[in-house]
Amino acid sequence: MVLNHPQEFQTAKVMLRLLEEELGIQVPKQEIGYFTMFLCAMDEEAIYPKIAVIVMAHGESTASSMAEVANKLLKTGHCHAIDMPLDVPAEEVLEKAVVLAKETDEGRGVLVLADMGSLLMFPEMIEKRTGIPVKTVPMVSTIMVIEAVRKAMLRGADIDRLAKEMRQIGKVFDQKHGEQSIHTILVTCFTGQGTALKLSEIIRDMIPAEQQSRFKIRCMDFEGMDAVKEAEGQEDLSGADAVVGTVDLKLPNVPFISVDEFVVGDGMARLSEMIQGQAETVCETKDEAVMDEKLLTGTLEQLLYFLNPKKMAGQAMECLKESVRALHMEVTRELAVRYVIHLCCMLERLIQEEVLPHQETEILKEKYKHIFETVKRSLRPLEDCLHMKIPDSETAYLVEMLLEEKESC
């Protein structure tokens, strides 16, 4: 003990000498060994439970770098990190976060320091799936990580108080850049659908980087209608600016935008107007094509059970492009969404041998022979891929859709 813990041993000797002088007693020398053991125990990290700290950030090694700096400066391994490369799906990172929270929790809760976007929504999902108290602090920086880890390792540290203190540090930083109002958007779905997380990513992507800090996007998934009714009475939800998703919380004076409205194309514009009063300041229209792909794929994932949503969305879009090109039309955003979703769901039905009849199939074939043949020709790659024959009655619905678009132009 003397060789391995000389500092603690010397301190124990000083303590005993002070006690002897103050109390006028003689303390047996062997007591020095017990005092030294107590002092060594105070330095052992595992001797008492601490708040776990996880840093999450976008990039190949952003979070790891901050955690490494904190651990080296504080001479500990208490800080853990999860990096989120830009090409990795959010669901995959969420699964890692759930596992890490379970591994690192010591009974005092988990503090998550995140930078932006979907990572700020993870803590609520982690808490729901694990039952572990999880608090989040946004706009993470290296100095925040160091301070959070230092305080998290203190004996008796409280996670609510620690999260509040760390957020206060962030507020001081924000005040230097002027006061800004924070807009809250609630994104809802039923548990198991995964719609909320997808929608939240789309909404976050459409907000310019310089305005990200002004928006708080909160994901909420419910296990049933009872959970929805319970949420409707929560006071902290009434201050939201809008609710987007598959579950209408029916909050007073808070507008609701369904997934259908969002997919059709005017949902995001409505949301922007509600919050800012002018959609142009929030939406970046130059990324519409990217957004459409995300919207289509995300929606199809909720509708298709047998077909690959991403693959089908791409092939269906190619069919549409071939048809409109031959008919000298343009692919509008609304037409793309309607056409692709209808076509993919139609293929899903045909796999299950469910064919929709169309009473005017023969009339359409005769009256609009060129359009009908064009659509049939565009569908052949899909027929070859899925080894099926698409009935004329189903093709008729697609022809009608193109006719409606042609007449509206």
What is the pTM (predicted TM-score) of this model? 0.41
User: Of the ranges 25-39, 257-271, 327-341, 362-376, which one carries the lowest mean pLDDT score?
Assistant: 257-271
Q: pLDDT by residue (tens digit) across 226-264?
A: 666 766 666 567 678 888 887 788 887 788 887 766 765
Regarding whether 116 and 167 lie in a shared domain, the answer is yes
Regarding whether 259 and 153 lie in a shared domain, the answer is no
DSSP state letters, 221-244:
EESSHHHHHHHHT-GGGTT-SEEE
pLDDT attached to residue 206: 66
* CATH number of domain containing 212: 3.40.50
- 299 within 8 A of 259, measured Cβ to Cβ: yes
pLDDT attached to residue 45: 46
- Is the confidence at residue 50, as pLDDT, over 80? yes
- Please report whether residue 38 resides in a domain: yes
Regarding whether 139 and 103 lie in a shared domain, the answer is yes
- Is the confidence at residue 396, as pLDDT, over 60? yes
SS3 content of the chain, % helix, strand, coil (to 5): 60, 10, 30
pLDDT attached to residue 390: 94
- Please report whether residue 347 resides in a domain: yes
**Residue ending a domain, choose from 155, 175, 195:** 175
Which of 111-115, 356-360, 400-404 ranks highest by mean pLDDT?
A: 111-115
- Is the confidence at residue 127, as pLDDT, over 80? yes
- 185 within 8 A of 271, measured Cβ to Cβ: yes
Strand-strand pairing, 134-137 and 183-190: unpaired
More confidently predicted of 199 and 101: 101
pLDDT (average), residues 288-317: 72
Regarding whether 311 and 208 lie in a shared domain, the answer is no
Regarding whether 60 and 112 lie in a shared domain, the answer is yes
- Please report whether residue 19 resides in a domain: yes
Q: Say how many domains are in the chain.
A: 4
Range of the domain at 257: 183-283
Sheet strands side by side (includes 79-84): 79-84, 52-58, 110-114, 134-137
pLDDT attached to residue 281: 38
- Is the confidence at residue 73, as pLDDT, over 50? yes
More confidently predicted of 56 and 156: 56
pLDDT attached to residue 288: 44
**Residue ending a domain, choose from 222, 249, 283:** 283
- Please report whether residue 67 resides in a domain: yes
Regarding whether 121 and 103 lie in a shared domain, the answer is yes
Tokens encoding 269: 């514009």
Regarding whether 192 and 170 lie in a shared domain, the answer is no
pLDDT (average), residues 91-105: 91
Tokens encoding 403: 């006719």
- Is the confidence at residue 111, as pLDDT, over 90? yes
- Is the confidence at residue 154, as pLDDT, over 70? yes
* CATH number of domain containing 338: 1.10.1790.10
pLDDT attached to residue 289: 42
Regarding whether 300 and 272 lie in a shared domain, the answer is no
What value, to the nearest 5°, has the Cα angle with vertex 343 and ends 341 and 349? 100
pLDDT (average), residues 265-281: 56
- Is the confidence at residue 43, as pLDDT, over 70? no
pLDDT attached to residue 178: 46
**Mean pLDDT, the chain, integer:** 80
User: Of the ranges 52-66, 104-118, 142-156, 195-209, which one carries the lowest mean pLDDT score?
Assistant: 195-209
- Identify the burial level of 300 via C-beta atoms within 10 angstroms of its C-beta, where 0-12 means exposed, 13-18 middle and 19 or more buried: buried
- Please report whether residue 66 resides in a domain: yes
DSSP single-letter state for residue 355: -
277: left (phi over 0), alpha (psi -120 to 50) or beta: left
How sure is the predictor about 278, in pLDDT bands with cuts at 50, 70 and 90? very low
How sure is the predictor about 395, in pLDDT bands with cuts at 50, 70 and 90? very high
pLDDT attached to residue 176: 47
- Is the confidence at residue 283, as pLDDT, over 50? no
Regarding whether 140 and 83 lie in a shared domain, the answer is yes
How sure is the predictor about 172, in pLDDT bands with cuts at 50, 70 and 90? low
- Please report whether residue 53 resides in a domain: yes
Q: How far from each other are the two terminal CA atoms of the chain, in whole angstroms? A: 88
Regarding whether 317 and 255 lie in a shared domain, the answer is no
- Please report whether residue 367 resides in a domain: yes
pLDDT attached to residue 373: 94
* CATH number of domain containing 56: 3.40.50.510
Quick one: what percent of the chain has pLDDT higher than 70? 77
Sheet strands side by side (includes 183-190): 215-222, 183-190, 242-245, 256-258
Regarding whether 293 and 401 lie in a shared domain, the answer is yes
- 61-81: burial string, b at 16+ Cβ within 10 Å, e else: ebbbbbbbebbeeeebebbbb
How sure is the predictor about 224, in pLDDT bands with cuts at 50, 70 and 90? low
- Please report whether residue 1 resides in a domain: no
**Residue ending a domain, choose from 126, 145, 175:** 175
Regarding whether 298 and 254 lie in a shared domain, the answer is no
